[in-house]
Every structure is written in structure tokens, then in C-alpha cells.
Amino acid sequence: MAKKLGKPARQPMRKPGIERYNRIVQAAEALILESGSLEGITLEAVAKRANVPRVSLYYFFESVESLFDALYQRGIQKMVADLPQAPKSANWRDMMLLYIDGVRDFYLNNRVEMILALLPASLVSVNQVSQDFGKALFQLLHGQGLVPKTRQVMLACEMCSELADLVWRKSLIEKGTLTPAYTREAKRVVIAYLEAVLAD
């Protein structure tokens, strides 16, 4: 059974706290980019890079996982805001292909978010990624009238998100990026799965 995530990050209210918080976030992002993963990143390393006392990090984040979660949540908000809108004549297949291309482009243009989503620190994070992306996908498809509003379809959208991310995770681990071949495979798998669900 997956453990629950810890407390959410404490948000700063005053200017000095906001500046310190932003330095911490920028330092964590820089370390993630340098290492290409989340492994080995500690609050001590982030504090040193941000040039702030460790106690400042513990004020905002109870653990390194809490810091990663705050970065991830911010990335999810950016990604959802960037999701494409369906053209008037789109069917669910066209929208899925557009969505997959949109997520791929977002990942390629936001490497920190790609690492946080595709190389998460825990299985709890993997599940959270799939749920968050799946809900956004379901809202996008149902909001355009392309799929019925059922629990089965909502869960299928979560699975579609997980399937695409599994293929892309393999691409990132093996190739260091999201390749066109792996993106074609992600599209094939997702379309086949959702087609089977909608046919039931």
C-alpha cells in the first residue's frame, strides 16, 4: 500500500521569505537539471546551492519529497494551462493525438517537469502524476463532448496518461529524451487502449 504524501509546502507571505523560497526552488531545479534525475538530491545540497541555512528549507519543506512535490504541483499547473483546445471538428482520436503532442512538447520544453513526472522519487508520485494528468485529459475530452461522463472513461483517461508516461519513461531512461519513435508508440498504445474502453 502506498504511503501518504507529507504536509504540503509552506508558502511564504513576506518579501524576504518569498525571495528565499524562490532561491530554494531555483537551486532545486538547477540540481535536477544537472543530475538529470531526482536521485541523490538532498535538502542539504539544495540549501548549499541556494546559499540559505538548512533551517530555511525545513521551514518551507518537511522533506526533499515535499520539495519535489511542490515543484511537481507547479509544473502540473503549467502543463494543464498549456493543454491544447480541440478544434471544432475534432473527434476523440484527433484530440488524443493533439493532447499527446502537447504533453510531449511541454516535457521537451520543461525538462525539470519532465524529470519530475517521468522519473519520480516514489510510486506515490507515479500514481499522483497519472491521476492529475488523467483528470485533466478527461476534463478536456468530456468538456468538448468527445467522450461520455462515466467513471470508467475517467479511469481510462488516467490509464492513458500512465501508458503514455510509461513509454516516455523508457525513452527518457534509454535515450535521454523523448524520441519520435517512442512518441509514435505512446500514441499507438493510448489510442488502442481508449478505443477498447469506448467500444465496451
3-state secondary structure (DSSP) of residue 160: helix
> Distance between CA 127 and CA 171 in Å, rounded?
19
Nearest of 16, 33, 25, 37 to residue 74 by alpha carbon:
25
What nine digits make up the cell of 18? 518569498
The pLDDT assigned to 86 comes to: 63
> Using CA atoms, how far apart are residues 71 and 123, in angstroms rounded to an integer?
17
pLDDT, tens only, 42-90: 999 999 999 999 888 888 888 888 899 889 888 888 887 877 666 666 7
pLDDT at 1: 25
Handedness of CA 45, 54, 78, 65 (dihedral sign): positive
Whether the CB-CB separation of 9 and 69 falls below 8 Å is answered with yes
Average pLDDT over residues 8-27: 78
pLDDT value of position 3: 35
pTM recorded for the entire structure = 0.84
Per-residue pLDDT, 58: 86
Residue 7 confidence class, pLDDT cut points 50, 70, 90: low
Categorise residue 41: left if φ over 0, alpha if ψ from -120 to 50, beta otherwise: beta
For residue 128, name the pLDDT band (cuts at 50, 70, 90). Answer: confident
Give the residue from 182, 183, 181, 191 showing the smallest Cα distance to 159: 191
For helices 64-82 and 15-35, angle between their N-to-C axes, nearest 10 degrees: 90
**How far, CA to CA in Å, does 169 sit from each of 37, 41, 47, 77, 116?**
12, 20, 29, 21, 11
Domain ranges of the chain: 15-62, 70-199
Q: Which CATH superfamily includes the segment(s) 15-62? A: Homeodomain-like (1.10.10.60)
